Structures are given as structure tokens and as C-alpha cells.
Structure 1
Amino acid sequence: MPKQQKAIRSSGWKTDFLIGFPDGLLLLFFTTFLLHGMPVSVQQFYTVNICIWLAGSILVMISAFQANRGDPQHDESTLSPEERQKLERLNISEPIIENIAAEMQKDAVQWEETLASQQVQEKHFNLAAAIRSGLLTGFSFLLGGILPFLPYLRNEHFTAAANTSVLYVFIAMTVFSFIKSKMTNQSTIPIILRNLAYGAAVWLGAFIILLVFR
């Protein structure tokens, strides 16, 4: 029976929310703002963005599940017999192999000390927890994505809707940054400024593309 390794996994709904929400918010902000100025019909605009919204949520669900499952090959903190055999087949000398093993052990000790100093826990893989993490991350993505999309659903005058969407996104990013600072015990102002800069970069990128392709 294979040994079940520990790894850093989702610590709960807070982690999943902090990952999924901003991804959905910024992705749909980019695609809605970009497409509103493109020569597409109203129905095409809705269809493309809904597909991106749903497909994005599925992708982040899969990614969150895979991250929780981990990779057993990279969970080993020391040189395994199989890895040693591979090195030997490459005609690598025994002193070099021993040096590699010693460095891996040294890195493992430093990693454990880092986790202890940051109060981060490693957990065994749990299928139910991995599925729950994937679903919560996907839901958080959908929640973030609906905010920049909502003004377009309520108003088919896309220029006005785009202005409202920008306002929604920057308000949402500010509130999210405040919540994140409280969840992670970090300074509020730097997080708000950094996340607002991300939002501004996304808006600027979409705006430049519109200018180029109009």
C-alpha cells in the first residue's frame, strides 16, 4: 500500500474564496469590457461571456481539486530508492548522489522550519475535502464573475453598462481586499492598493486592445 504523503492543502472556504473570487472578477471584467466595444451582437456578447464564465469555473474547480490531491512524486522530501536508481543508471557517481540526498534532506528541514514559523499545517489527502475545495473555489469564481457581468445583463446599452461594470469591479475589489486583509492578518492599505492596481491593469489592457482592433 503506497505511503500517503502530507502536503499543503486548502485550509477551508477562506482559502477557496481568496483564490476563486478575484479570478472570476478580473476575468469577466476583462472579457465583458473587451467585447462590449467589439462588433458583436447582443446575443453573441451574452453567449461568449456566459461560456467563459461557466468554463472558467469548471477549470478552477479542476485546478483546486488537483492542487489538493497533489503529486506523490513531489511529496517526497528525501531521495527515494527509485530516484537513486535513476541517478545510478545515468552513471552519476556515488559521492554526487549522496550530496544530492544530503541537500534534499537539508531543504526538507528548512521547509519544515518555514512551515512551523508561518504556522502552516500540512495535511493528508482527503477526497471529500478536495471535492469540497473544488466546488467552493468554483462557486467563488462564479460569484466574482457575475459582478462585472451583471450590469450588461440589466442594461443592453453596453456603453453605460461598461461604466457601471467598472464601478462595480473597483468597489468589489476594495471590499475583497479589506476582507482578505482581515482573513490573512495583513495590512489593509497595501492589499487594497495592490488589488486596485491589478484591476486597473486589466482595464487598461482591455482598453488598449479595443483601441488596436476597433
Structure 2
Amino acid sequence: MTKTQKAIRSSGWRTDLMIGFPDGVLLLLFTTQILYSKNLTVQAFYTLHFIVLGVATLLMMIAVFRANRGEEDEGVMTPEEAAKLRNLDLSDPTIAHIADEMQKDQAQWEATLQAEEVPLRDFGLRHAIRSTLLTGGFFLLGGLIAFVPFLMQEDFSVAGRTSLVISILALVVFGWVKSRITGQRIIALTMRYLLTGSVVVLASYLISSVI
């Protein structure tokens, strides 16, 4: 008998929002704050960020679908994957280290799900596809919040400040919304996202200053 797999997203659009939206904001806030002051043409800046946003959204959707599928060997290196690594002339200790890191990442992911109180449900293709599309849509929306000011204003110094303010406000509002959905303390949650946004901005400034 085939074992019924479990999906990790079972609370519908709320969980998809919590997973997709903040990552989209933070990623595009990070890249735009690094690159807007660099010697790029307006078109090159736009093209680069459309590519970043499109590829990142696709990767997010793939990860969400795989997570919803609840693969039995998820977090464990398969023999096929190990064989591919050996074909790259990687040593057995290196492959063993990679496998160990995969298991650690899986354990951390499961701990996050438990902390966020995300229940499990039987896998369903329709649910998985819907969750994939919604998470991708929320991720794209978050990214556009940080990116759209640059599309509306070709003075990137002004657009950069506008994007920064709007993105931080969006994260604060998101923290409030998430607190209402999950029942967590509003001040602690909004401060967490405010701090996360501040760290991203600081990291982007430091990286921008050395490249």
C-alpha cells in the first residue's frame, strides 16, 4: 500500500502569505539598495531586477510545491544525488558533510513549522498547486513593493529612499497582520520584522560600499 504523504501547508492563503510576502520584500529591498547607486543604465537596472524577481519567484514556487508534496526522503541525500556528487570528483568526507548539512536544514525547517504551528494534511495535487501559485503571487507582490518605486522614478536616489520607507512600512504592517493571524504578540512580531528589514538594509549598505 502506498504511504499517504503529508503537506506542510494546510492553512490556505494565510500560510502562503506568511511564507511568500516577507521574503519577496526583503530580497528586492536588498538587491535594489545595493545596485541603485552603481554605474548601471536605467534599462540594465530594470532588466536585472526583472530577472531576479522572476527567477526568485520561480524558485520559491518550486520549493513550495516540493514542500507540499511532503517527499518521504526530504532532507536526506538520496543515492542518486550522492552518485552525482561523486561524478564531480568530490571526496566521500565532503559528500558526508553535505548530507549532514541537509539533515540539519531539514531539522531546522521542521522546527520552524512547529514554532509557527503549521499543521499537516494529506497531500493533494490541487491544494499543492494552489499553495504554490499563491505563495509565488505573494512573493512577487512583496518584491514589487520594493521595486515599483524605481519603475515610477528614474531618479534612483529618490526611488531608493522611497523604496526603503515603503518596504519597512510593508514589513511592519505585515508583522501586524501576521500577529492577528497567528495570535502572537503584535509588538514583538512587528519589531522582529522591523529589525530584520534594518539588518537587510545595513547589509546592503555594507556590501554596496565595497563593490
Q: Report if TM-score (shorter chain) is over 0.5.
A: yes
Structure 1: where are the runs of 5+ without partners? Answer: 76-110
Q: Superposed, which structure 2 residues align to 1:129-208 within 5 Å?
A: 129-208=127-206
Contact 2:6 2:69 in 1 (8 A): no
CA distance in 2 between partners of 1:202 and 1:74 (Å) = 30
Equivalent in the alignment of 2:55 = 55
| Letter aligned with residue 131 of structure 2 | S
| Letter aligned with residue 174 of structure 1 | V
Aligned residues: 173
For residues 130-186 of structure 1, the C-alpha deviation after alignment (integer angstroms, 9 at most, x for no partner) is: 010000000000110001111100000000110111110111011100000000000
CA distance in 2 between partners of 1:59 and 1:7 (Å) = 18
Change (3 A) 1:181 1:21: same
Change (3 A) 1:74 1:139: closer
1:71 Cα deviation (Å)?
1.6
Contact 2:57 2:140 in 1 (8 A): yes
Change (3 A) 1:74 1:34: closer
| Letter aligned with residue 193 of structure 2 | N
1:56 Cα deviation (Å)?
1.0
SS at match of 2:209: helix
CA distance in 2 between partners of 1:51 and 1:29 (Å) = 15
1:21 Cα deviation (Å)?
0.2
Change (3 A) 1:7 1:13: closer
| Letter aligned with residue 194 of structure 1 | R
| Letter aligned with residue 149 of structure 1 | F
Larger Cα-atom Rg:
1
CA distance in 2 between partners of 1:203 and 1:19 (Å) = 20
CA distance in 2 between partners of 1:32 and 1:136 (Å) = 24
SS at match of 2:2: coil
Contact 2:171 2:193 in 1 (8 A): yes
Contact 1:10 1:16 in 2 (8 A): no
Equivalent in the alignment of 1:38 = 38
CA distance in 2 between partners of 1:64 and 1:173 (Å) = 21
Change (3 A) 1:175 1:65: same
| Letter aligned with residue 136 of structure 1 | L
CA distance in 2 between partners of 1:46 and 1:8 (Å) = 35
| Letter aligned with residue 157 of structure 2 | T
CA distance in 1 between partners of 2:26 and 2:117 (Å) = 30
1:3 Cα deviation (Å)?
2.0
CA RMSD of aligned residues (A): 2.0
Contact 2:9 2:118 in 1 (8 A): no
Report the TM-score, using the length of structure 1 for normalisation: 0.76
Percent identity, aligned pairs only, is 45
Contact 1:18 1:180 in 2 (8 A): yes
